[in-house]
A and B are shown apart, each in its own frame.
Chain A
Amino acid sequence: MTMHHPAMEAVHRRRYVPNLWDALAFGLVFAGLIILVHGGRETLAPLASLERSPVSLDPAKLPEYALRTTMRMLAAIIASLVFTFAYGALAAKSRRAEMVLVPLLDILQSVPVLGFLSFTVLGFMALFPGQVVGVELAAIFAIFTSQAWNMTFSFYQSLKTVPGDLDEVSRAFRLSGWQRFWRLEVPFSMPGLVWNTMMSMSGGWFFVVASEAISVGNTTITLPGIGAYVALAIEQRNLAAVGWAVAAMLAVILIYDQLLFRPLVAWSDKFRVEQSAGGSAPRSWLLDAARRTRLLQIVLAPVGDLLGRVPQQRLQLSPALPNKARKLWRGAWADRAWSVLVVVVSVYALWLIASFVATELAWPEVAKVLGLGVITMLRVVVLMALATVIWVPAGVWIGLRPRVAERVQPLAQFLAAFPANIVFPFAVVAIVRLGLSPDVCLSPLMVLGTQWYILFNVIAGASAFPNDLKEAASTFRIRGWSWWRKVILPGIFPYYVTGAITASGGSWNASIVAEVASWGGTRLTAHGLGAYIAQATEAGDYPRVVLGVAVMSLFVIVFNRLLWRPLYAFAGRRMRLD
């Protein structure tokens, strides 16, 4: 049967005339490749080469440092994605794995990973003795641990909420597990995953800066990058260099946003399940350019074809176990055996931690750490309250004015992505010069980077506030305090809670870098759990690090369970506008 069909012929007939977009796209593609090769070569050098070419404060070197830092980020995000697919899928598909993996993830999310930096550095250096790769991997791992958890959670939750009819389609048409994963599960989870990857990226910048200059006991290992540059600038009291670093960081984030996330967000829009075409779709000039190219489309067609084949394969494993064994495996007794195993392992793990900490530390130390935890918690609470008082009215004001919101919203998101620890030196200089109390004045640094989450979520909430309710409020002349209490605050509440959860989690983490700050030889220390962990890390005092991190995790978990979860549930129950 002969078919004359446009869709059939499209495969064979294409015009091979390159256009302007091609030139642009080719420039970008090749520049990207060169950069990758250049950056990659450096990581394979022996460790001694780091000492031969130490980090310099020359601004001309900054682009290269920025590149190295960015590549670490990229590597970490890829690792996070792979981890997400594996862990999320396992947790969602196996009932027994779910029992363990989900609570584990919940806890991992709350652990301040900065505290573990020194452990992981040692581990990775032992894996690749004498090579830069080891330290690089340690840095990448540190970033990974700050990114992976929320991405995994988002993926897991998407897998759990796959629409029933699409699930039935894939079963009724007998898609294999592999096909189902790529055709249904991954696409369905894409919008959430992209959003969480962006959030992770913002968090990651913070950690990459902190992880490039790692001091383990007496040795300090410095990887070329923006973080190391800032660390050196602090050591040499060079405020101008810090300024350069800030500028470089701004440029990097801007480029990253334009070249990676904008296209990604615009592309992932097609994975939304809502079937109506309403609303304005996100756009990206880069994606538009790539879609308009001719030559590039032809060159990339085989790649796309190859990728397209991945979900088309059935790749089905025939059941490895005989029927009888499978029945036993699924049975209630296997469930019980599994539960017993889980309990035994967790008890053993708890005992292990306790005995490790107990080798050197006694109960008074634990009480002291708990006390420090309370101090840090006080800081978090006060600062969150302050940020709320400032940013909620500001966010509402902006959000209700679409023109202002249009301009301010990207700025707020941008500020949230900016690693606040780069600007810490400015604050420290001010505190040193003015002779202020570090206990009070170092505190605001904790929310410096995280307050923006509150702002941009409140803006989003106020922008989404239904127009008819606004009109109703003004017709009935609801004004002043009663307008805030009865109209707008309930309207933005769910958004505020979302922002505040992120901000509060980030603030706990930031306390580890914010409660201790130095400027050259001057050292400012505030009392708190963050400072305790930072000092213990510097001294290589592992029992104290473990104790500090464990206590901080405990605080974060309790904080989440007792405050944020109930608030979130309340917002979902009572204040939904639909």
Chain B
Amino acid sequence: MATFDLPKTTAAMAGVPLVDLAGVCKVYHKQDNLDLVVLEDVSLTIREGEIVGLLGRSGSGKSTLLRIIAGLIRPSSGSVHWRGQPVSGPSEGVAMVFQSFALFPWLTVLENVEVGLEAIGVPAVERRRRALEAIDLIGLDGFESAYPKELSGGMRQRVGFARALVVHPRLMLMDEPFSALDVLTAETLRTDLIDLWMEGRLPIKSILMVTHNIEEAVLMCDRLLIFSSNPGQVASEVRIDLDHPRSRADPAFRQLVDEIYGRMTQRAPAEKMEKRVSEGLPGTGIGMALPHLSTNVLAGLMEALAARPYDGRADLPDLAATLQMEADEIFPMVETLQLLRFAEMADGDVQLTELGRHFVNSDVDARKRLFAEHLLAYVPLAALIRRVLDERSSHLAPFTRFSEELEDFMSEDRAEETMRAIISWGRYAELFGYDEQAKQFNLENPT
């Protein structure tokens, strides 16, 4: 586990441990295939007085980990302790804020906030007093009798916060709480929350938040645990000692963001040797999981890279900001380009290859030919499908012939996504056709 060598504050280190995880694994058993490992050997401690961020790409199991801590999911192995006691179901003193807000649409703001108190049997008068206090604190005054559907997204998430705060939890868990909000609203909510935290007005001891937004994590957290995917593991830990309020324009802030970007694109050395062929994408050979990206998006990204101001080479955070994308969205695109040898990564920068430039400068038919060549050469699944179709006298092959093979390597959902990706790429490259109704690959090319 690597740690940034920034000066450490002692406050967070001295806090009483709230959550203690040791060797936690989560495996989903499948009937006849390999087990799907979502989390592998995760150990961490969360103490009083800190905001901890779980940062990782989608599918890295960070939300699963949050739910294990919340007691909503049981780990397959390893131990989870909440204030010294083993966790066996949702614990008292833990409250959760959801990405989708998860408000009861049939209850008013006030009733939604009171729900958590009802569950622990707080008497009616006390309940009302505490609910109004929380509503007041979070800036929802005047909205008590509104229904969630009358509120904007930001206001809805404020209700989510009030509902969590009102039970006075020691630990507040937040599952990507700002990712369903627009940029401005999310920023307001973040600063409001940090202000309340810094002023010590939140009736909580610690916050654990899941996010895939690097800047958000650096803006809010005292400590970051960076997750690697497949299986989910804590790849490294970063301590952030910038003073609040933090500014995105601060050079130290920028540098930290850049470094984390670098960490998230770079793989552990051992992994790198093994996955040389697949570059960033999980799995190797046939078992490579492909992201379902439109060829238009891939072409668009290459065009953007080739054009000014990048002229073929771009800083990843910078490119993401220009294209208004989250890191989480741009990683799979860059990795797909890498896989197809249209681009390569170097020191957190992405660079078009010669062939990538060639692609950008070609016309439609030439692009298709080039794409087809690279697909056959570098994506084993595409080559397999083409070979099977060529070998069979009917030139037909069912969807399940390949999807079942994929499911030996990955989850059903991922196999489905990979198949969708290869179908759309193969169609674009005119390598093979696909009949959705018959669920069959073919070599027909309607002309």
Contact = CB atoms under 8 A, between A and B. Distances in A.
Q: Which of B99, B118, B133, B167 has the most chain A CB atoms closer than 10 A to its own CB?
A: B118
A169 interface: yes
A490 to B, nearest CB: 14
Contacts of B124: 312
A271 B148 contact: no
Chain A binding surface, main DSSP class: helix
A270 B148 CA distance: 10
B119 A176 contact: yes
Contact of B90 (A8, A171, A274, A312): A171
A174 B128 contact: no
B144 A174 contact: no
Contacts of A166: 102, 104
A553 B71 CA distance: 47
A174 B106 CA distance: 19
Contact of A175 (B72, B100, B119): B119
B96 A270 contact: no
Nearest to A268: B106
Nearest to A168: B72
Interface stretch (A12-20, A21-29, A179-187, A240-248): A179-187
Nearest to B118: A312
Interface in B61-98: 67, 70-72, 90, 92, 94-96, 98
A283 interface: no
Interface string B103-130: 0111100100001101111001000110
Interface string B312-325: 00000000000000
A270 B105 contact: yes
Contacts of A175: 115, 118-119
A172 B132 contact: no
A311 B110 CA distance: 15
A240 to B, nearest CB: 50
Given A271-B105, A273-B105, A165 B148 contact: no
A3 B72 contact: no
B68 to A, nearest CB: 12
Interface string B130-141: 001100000000
Given A172-B70, A270-B105, A8 B128 contact: yes
Contact of B98 (A5, A7, A168): A168
Nearest to A173: B116
A172 B145 contact: no
Contacts of A5: 132
Contacts, number: 87
Contact of A275 (B71, B105, B107, B116): B105
Contacts of B95: 172-173
A187 B148 CA distance: 15
Contacts of A184: 104
Contacts of A274: 149
Given A165-B98, A179-B119, A8 B132 contact: yes
B132 A3 contact: yes
Interface residues of B, number: 39
A8 B110 CA distance: 11
Nearest to A271: B106
Contacts of A273: 105
Contacts of B163: 173
A434 interface: no
A276 interface: yes
Contact of A314 (B71, B72, B90, B119): B119
B428 interface: no
A104 interface: no
B331 interface: no
Contacts of B100: 165
Nearest to B102: A165
B147 interface: yes
B96 A172 contact: yes
Nearest to A270: B106
A271 B149 CA distance: 11
Contacts of B70: 172
Contact of B144 (A7, A172, A176, A276): A7
B241 interface: no
Given A163-B102, A172-B95, A312-B118, 16 more contacts: A3-B133, A5-B132, A7-B132, A165-B100, A169-B96, A172-B72, A173-B96, A173-B116, A173-B119, A175-B115, A179-B119, A183-B107, A271-B105, A274-B149, A275-B148, A277-B150
Q: Which A-B residue pairs are the 5 nearest by beta carbons?
A: A165-B102, A173-B116, A187-B106, A172-B96, A7-B144
24 contacts: A1-B129, A5-B132, A6-B144, A7-B110, A8-B129, A169-B96, A169-B102, A169-B115, A171-B90, A172-B70, A172-B71, A172-B95, A173-B95, A173-B116, A174-B119, A175-B118, A179-B118, A183-B118, A187-B104, A275-B105, A275-B148, A275-B149, A276-B149, A314-B119
